[in-house]
Amino acid sequence: MQATVSAFDAASSSGSVLLDDGVELDFDATALAGSGLRLLRAGQRVRLETSGEGAGRKVLALQILTLF
């Protein structure tokens, strides 16, 4: 699944992404663990893994689209 970073706080390594269907999901530092990412910027396209559905959906992992 792909999304666009809508906000990122470098101090806490948390933020939010806007899915292509318009749903906004928050993420915490664990979503970046193991990716090597330390910073994201608003507007950046990312690929993400999620679990759950509806209000219980959680971002498990984020990766910049160009880093395969």
pLDDT tens sequence across 4-16: 999 999 999 999 9
Band of pLDDT at residue 67, cut at 50, 70 and 90: low
Helix, strand, coil: what percent of the chain each, to 5? 10, 45, 45
Confidence at residue 38, expressed as pLDDT on a 0 to 100 scale: 80
Average pLDDT over residues 26-51: 89
pTM over 0.95: no
Instruction: Answer with the residue of higher pLDDT: 3 or 39.
Output: 3
Region of 17 (left: φ > 0; alpha: ψ -120 to 50; beta: rest) is: beta
Band of pLDDT at residue 17, cut at 50, 70 and 90: very high
58's CB contacts (< 8 A; 6+ apart) are 25, 50, 51, 52
Domain map (residue ranges) of the chain: 2-64
What's the CATH superfamily of 2-64? Nucleic acid-binding proteins (2.40.50.140)
